[in-house]
Amino acid sequence: MQDLQTIEIETQANPTVAVIWLHGLGANGHDFEPVVPELGLPEGAAVRFIFPHAPNLPITINGGMSMPAWYDIKAMDLDRVIDTEQLMASARAVGKLVDREIERGIASENIVIAGFSQGGAVAYELGLTYPKRLAGILALSTYFATAKSVKPSQANAGIPINIYHGTADPMVPEALGLRSLEALKGMGYQPAYMTFPMEHSVCLEEIQEVGQFIRKYAL
């Protein structure tokens, strides 16, 4: 996979924290730009938000139509038949963005990986396997697609994980969020799980919780 194109927003000069936030199927890096001012971060916090654009891929469940995607989805049943190789390739591509932030002077333990829907599946894979300690994983309206194949790194054995899900999500049913929670617990992680009365989207209360997570684990 080619290097990912990104949008960057810095809340102050010389950032000491980075948040890499992955969008969902059919969206792009602009999708979550508007959340930055809503996070309620401290006025002096120097955070670089990185919003990558997924490459265009043909998507089986959409009749082979090409659209921004981190991987192909072949069936929409509860087990989500996906192209795992493409997901892994996306995780490696986002991993290069983590490497770049470290090269730019941000400590790995101050880097948060966030993802919505498809982006969250990539966030799980990358966040759990990255060889250096990260600040945390934010999983929004998503599922743990590689729970059976992931090879976690010891560096992130105790990584903070927050899972957020809409109770009325028709695209990624809450059952998948709960399944992710149980899989992570079974692997020894201690994720927090929060639900909101919404469909496949985000809400202000959730975004404020994300801000609290960034404050607690990265600032």
In the 8-state DSSP scheme, what is residue 63?
A: T
Number of other residues whose CB lies within 10 A of the CB of residue 65: 12
Query: Does residue 200 have an active-site annotation?
Result: yes
The answer to whether 117 touches 142, Cβ cutoff 8 Å, is yes
In the 8-state DSSP scheme, what is residue 148?
A: T
DSSP H/E element including 177: helix 174-186
Query: Does residue 180 have an active-site annotation?
Result: no
Q: State the catalytic residue, choosing from 31, 72, 83, 169.
A: 169
Q: State the catalytic residue, choosing from 117, 141, 165, 180.
A: 117
What are the angstrom distances between the C-alpha of 9 and each of 15, 49, 91, 123, 182? 10, 5, 22, 20, 34
Q: State the catalytic residue, choosing from 53, 153, 200, 201.
A: 200
Phi, psi (degrees; rounded to nearest 5) at 38: -90, -5
The answer to whether 98 touches 74, Cβ cutoff 8 Å, is no
Parallel, antiparallel or unpaired: strands 6-10 and 111-116: unpaired
Q: How far apart are CA 209 and CA 55, in angstroms?
A: 29
139: Cβ contacts below 8 Å, ≥ 6 apart: 115, 120, 123, 124, 161, 162, 163, 164, 177, 180, 191
Q: Which residues are catalytically annotated?
A: 117, 169, 200
